[in-house]
Structure 1
Amino acid sequence: MNAPVTAQRSAQSSSSQPQTGLGALWRPALKQAFVKLDPRQLVRSPVMLVVELTALVTSVLCFVPSPTVSTALGVQIALWLWFTVLFANFAEALAEGRGKARADSLKSGSQGLMASKQVGAQFQSVPASSLRKGDVVRVEAGELIPGDGEVIEGVAAVNEAAITGESAPVIRESGGDRSAVTGNTRLVSDWLLVRISADPGESTLDRMIALVEGARRQKTPNEVALDILLIGLTLIFLLVVATLQPFARFAGGDLPLIYLAALLVTLIPTTIGGLLSAIGIAGMDRLVRLNVIAKSGRAVEAAGDVHTLLLDKTGTITFGNRRCSAMVKAPGVATPELAEAALLASQGDDTPEGKSIIEYLASLHPMAVPERSGMTLIAFSAETRLSGADVNGVAYRKGAVDAVLAYLGLGRSDLPAPLAREVEKIAQSGGTPLLVAGNGRLLGAIHLKDVVKPGIRERFAELRAMGIRTVMVTGDNPLTAAAIAAEAGVDDVIAEATPEKKLARIRAEQAEGKLVAMCGDGANDAPALAQADVGLAMNDGTQAAREAANLVDLDSDPTKLIDVVQVGKELLVTRGALTTFSVANDVAKYFAILPALFAGIYPQLGTLNLMQLHSPQSAILSAIVFNALIIVALIPLALRGVHIQALDAGQLLRRNLLIYGLGGLVAPFVGIKLLDLLLVGLGWV
Structure 2
Amino acid sequence: MTQVTLDPSSSPSSPRVSSSPVAGGLTGAMLGRALGDAVVKLNPTKLLNNPVIFATWIVALLASVSAVAAVATGQAAGFAVQLALWLWATVLFANVAESIAEGRGKAAADSLRATRVTTKAKLIVDPKTGTVVPTPAGELEIGSIVLVEAGDVIPSDGEIIEGVASVNEAAITGESAPVIRESGGDRSAVTGGTTVVSDWIKVRITSAPGATFLDRMIAMVEGADRRKTPNELALSVLLAGLTLVFLIAVASLLGLGAYTGIKLDPIVLGALFITLIPTTIGGLLSAVGIAGMDRLLKVNVLATSGRAVEAAGDVDTLLLDKTGTITFGNRMATEVITVPGVRPDAVMRAAVMASLADETPEGRSIVELGRNAGVTGDLPEGAKTIPFSAVTRQSGLEAGGQSWRKGAVDAVLKSLGLAEAEAAPEFRAAVDRIARSGGTPLAVTENDVLVGVIHLKDVVKPGVKARFADLRRMGLRTVMITGDNPVTAAAIASEAGVDDFLAEATPEDKMRLIKAEQAKGRMVAMCGDGANDAPALAQADVGVAMQTGAQAAREAGNMVDLDSDPTKVIEIVEVGKQLLITRGALTTFSIANDVAKYFAIIPAMFVVGLPSLAALNVMKLSSPESAILSAVIFNALVIIALIPLALRGVKYRAVGAGKLLGRNLLIYGLGGLIAPFVGIKLIDIVISALGLA
Pick the TM interval, shorter chain: 0.7 to 0.9
Aligned to 1:381: 388
Aligned to 1:577: 585
Pair 1:82 & 2:83 matched: no
Greater shift, 538-547 or 590-599, is seen at 538-547
Distance change >3 Å, CA 453–CA 504, structure 1 → 2: same
Greater shift, 449-458 or 414-423, is seen at 414-423
Contact 1:467 1:648 in 2 (8 A): no
Q: CA deviation at 1:57?
A: 3.0
What per-residue deviation string (whole Å, max 9, x for no partner) do you get for residues 239-286 of structure 1? 111211321321233344454233222211111111112222222334
Pair 1:595 & 2:629 matched: no
Pairs within 5 Å for 1:342-421: 342-363=351-372, 365-367=373-375, 369=376, 371-373=378-380, 376=383, 378=385, 381-383=388-390, 384-388=392-396, 395-421=403-429
Contact 1:300 1:564 in 2 (8 A): yes
Aligned to 2:291: 282
Q: CA deviation at 1:424?
A: 2.3
**Distance of 2:351 and 2:212 partners within structure 1:** 50
Q: CA deviation at 1:333?
A: 4.4
**Distance of 1:136 and 1:335 partners within structure 2:** 50
Contact 2:357 2:397 in 1 (8 A): yes
What per-residue deviation string (whole Å, max 9, x for no partner) do you get for residues 64-117 of structure 1? 779xx9754444443332322222111111112222234456667779999999
Distance change >3 Å, CA 53–CA 126, structure 1 → 2: farther
Q: CA deviation at 1:573?
A: 2.8
Greater shift, 565-574 or 102-111, is seen at 102-111
Q: CA deviation at 1:196?
A: 7.0
Aligned to 2:331: 322
Contact 2:327 2:461 in 1 (8 A): yes
Question: Scaled by the length of structure 1, what TM-score is found?
Answer: 0.81
Contact 1:348 1:377 in 2 (8 A): no
Aligned to 2:612: 604
SS in 2 for 1:434: strand
Aligned to 1:7: none
SS in 2 for 1:263: helix
Distance change >3 Å, CA 32–CA 497, structure 1 → 2: same
What per-residue deviation string (whole Å, max 9, x for no partner) do you get for residues 594-624 of structure 1? 2333333322222233444454444333322
Distance change >3 Å, CA 447–CA 547, structure 1 → 2: closer
Q: CA deviation at 1:681?
A: 5.6
Greater shift, 242-251 or 417-426, is seen at 417-426
Greater shift, 536-545 or 93-102, is seen at 536-545
Aligned to 2:219: 210
What per-residue deviation string (whole Å, max 9, x for no partner) do you get for residues 191-236 of structure 1? 87868769x7x76555444323335433333322222221111111
**Distance of 2:189 and 2:336 partners within structure 1:** 40
Greater shift, 52-61 or 499-508, is seen at 52-61
**Distance of 2:344 and 2:213 partners within structure 1:** 54
Q: CA deviation at 1:451?
A: 2.4
SS in 1 for 2:380: helix
Greater shift, 570-579 or 373-382, is seen at 373-382
Q: CA deviation at 1:26?
A: 0.8
Q: CA deviation at 1:237?
A: 0.8
Which of 662, 669, 672 is equivalent to 1:661? 669
Contact 2:181 2:188 in 1 (8 A): no
**Distance of 1:619 and 1:456 partners within structure 2:** 58
Aligned to 1:269: 278
Pair 1:99 & 2:105 matched: yes
Aligned to 2:43: 38
**Distance of 1:111 and 1:415 partners within structure 2:** 62
Contact 1:506 1:532 in 2 (8 A): yes
SS in 2 for 1:430: coil
Q: CA deviation at 1:504?
A: 1.5
Structure 1 unpaired stretches of 5+? 1-14, 118-124
Distance change >3 Å, CA 593–CA 419, structure 1 → 2: farther
Contact 1:287 1:567 in 2 (8 A): yes
Question: Scaled by the length of structure 2, what TM-score is found?
Answer: 0.80
Contact 1:460 1:470 in 2 (8 A): yes
Which of 227, 241, 249 is equivalent to 1:232? 241
Aligned to 1:466: 474
SS in 2 for 1:315: helix
Contact 2:480 2:501 in 1 (8 A): yes
SS in 1 for 2:388: coil
Structure 2 unpaired stretches of 5+? 1-17, 124-133
Pairs within 5 Å for 1:259-658: 259-288=268-297, 294=303, 296-363=305-372, 365-367=373-375, 369=376, 371-373=378-380, 376=383, 378=385, 381-383=388-390, 384-388=392-396, 395-438=403-446, 441-538=449-546, 544-546=552-554, 548-552=556-560, 561-647=569-655, 649=657, 651-658=659-666
**Distance of 2:138 and 2:416 partners within structure 1:** 64
Letter in structure 1 aligned against 2:669: G
SS in 2 for 1:644: coil
Q: CA deviation at 1:543?
A: 5.6
**Distance of 1:239 and 1:127 partners within structure 2:** 64
Would you say how many aligned residue pairs link Structure 1 and Structure 2? 654
Contact 1:350 1:380 in 2 (8 A): no
What per-residue deviation string (whole Å, max 9, x for no partner) do you get for residues 470-507 of structure 1? 11111121112112212222121111111121122112
Distance change >3 Å, CA 165–CA 116, structure 1 → 2: same
**Distance of 1:540 and 1:340 partners within structure 2:** 33
What per-residue deviation string (whole Å, max 9, x for no partner) do you get for residues 276-317 of structure 1? 122222223344556655554333333332232211112211
Aligned to 2:127: none
Q: CA deviation at 1:579?
A: 1.6
SS in 2 for 1:322: strand
Pair 1:49 & 2:54 matched: yes
**Distance of 1:625 and 1:605 partners within structure 2:** 24
Cα RMSD of the aligned pairs, angstroms, is 4.4
**Distance of 1:442 and 1:194 partners within structure 2:** 45
Distance change >3 Å, CA 16–CA 652, structure 1 → 2: closer
Q: CA deviation at 1:582?
A: 1.3
Distance change >3 Å, CA 451–CA 613, structure 1 → 2: farther
Contact 1:274 1:631 in 2 (8 A): yes
**Distance of 1:127 and 1:453 partners within structure 2:** 39
Q: CA deviation at 1:628?
A: 2.0
Greater shift, 457-466 or 206-215, is seen at 206-215
SS in 2 for 1:372: coil
SS in 2 for 1:642: coil
Distance change >3 Å, CA 172–CA 631, structure 1 → 2: farther
Contact 2:59 2:271 in 1 (8 A): yes
Pairs within 5 Å for 1:61-72: 61-62=66-67, 71-72=77-78
SS in 2 for 1:22: coil
Distance change >3 Å, CA 534–CA 255, structure 1 → 2: same
Aligned to 1:25: 30
What per-residue deviation string (whole Å, max 9, x for no partner) do you get for residues 509-548 of structure 1? 1221222222334443333233323334456655654554
**Distance of 2:434 and 2:499 partners within structure 1:** 23
**Distance of 2:563 and 2:345 partners within structure 1:** 42
